[in-house]
């Protein structure tokens, strides 16, 4: 019983290096005697190995190292023109950066550490806000908010903020409709 081409392909490298068991080596010898495709593959692999073992094939041509070092030396000596171009670019970048920085300060308001973005101004809220006694969500709402679940407790906005509650993103800050009396 012979072995398949796929089995030969898996073991061909070990066959070339003579690292197979004698029984497996004999099976591959028999397969190579019968299969012309695998024999051609074996011959091609042996040719590649012979070529790569020849140091003359991979050696650089004469004078290569001298030309390489000469070119590297030339590229390391920057010309006066390139130095001038870099200097002008840097000189133009500094005022442009300052202008962008100044414009961003005009567009983006300064951060007030006493008033974080998530904390609304108490003047915009009603006198009391609602928190849920049944849920531990730490969110305060305006009375009647559909996102307030459970039994409400009404407290002052300052007290809610002090206790670590955050405003509801759905009802806080939205204009409340005026009731007609």
Q: Encode pLDDT of 18-74 as tens digits.
A: 999 999 999 999 999 999 999 999 999 999 888 888 777 777 888 888 888 888 876
Rounded distance, CA 98 to CA 9, Å?
66
Query: How much is the pTM?
Result: 0.34
For the chain, give every domain's residue range.
1-78, 122-167
Rounded distance, CA 93 to CA 90, Å?
5
115 pLDDT more than 60: no
Q: Identify which of 37, 34, 15, 32 has the alpha carbon closest to the alpha carbon of residue 24.
A: 15
Q: Encode pLDDT of 165-176 as tens digits.
A: 888 888 875 444
**pLDDT for residue 175:** 44
């Amino acid at each position: 019983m012979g072995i398949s081409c796929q089995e030969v392909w898996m073991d061909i490298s070990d066959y070339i290096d003579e690292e197979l068991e004698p029984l497996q080596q004999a099976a591959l010898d028999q397969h190579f005697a019968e299969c012309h495709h695998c024999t051609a593959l074996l011959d091609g692999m042996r040719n590649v190995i012979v070529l790569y073992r020849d140091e003359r094939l991979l050696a650089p041509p004469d004078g290569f190292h001298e030309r390489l070092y000469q070119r590297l030396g030339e590229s390391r000596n920057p010309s006066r023109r390139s130095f001038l171009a870099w200097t002008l670019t840097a000189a133009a970048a500094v005022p442009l950066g300052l202008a962008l920085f100044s414009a961003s300060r005009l567009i983006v308001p300064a951060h007030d550490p006493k008033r974080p973005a998530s904390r609304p101004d108490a003047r915009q809220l009603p006198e009391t806000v609602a928190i849920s006694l049944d849920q531990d969500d730490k969110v305060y709402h305006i009375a009647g908010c559909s996102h307030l679940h459970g039994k409400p407790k009404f407290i002052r906005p300052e007290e809610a903020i002090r206790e670590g509650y955050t405003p509801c993103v759905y009802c806080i800050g939205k204009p409340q409709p005026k009731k007609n009396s």
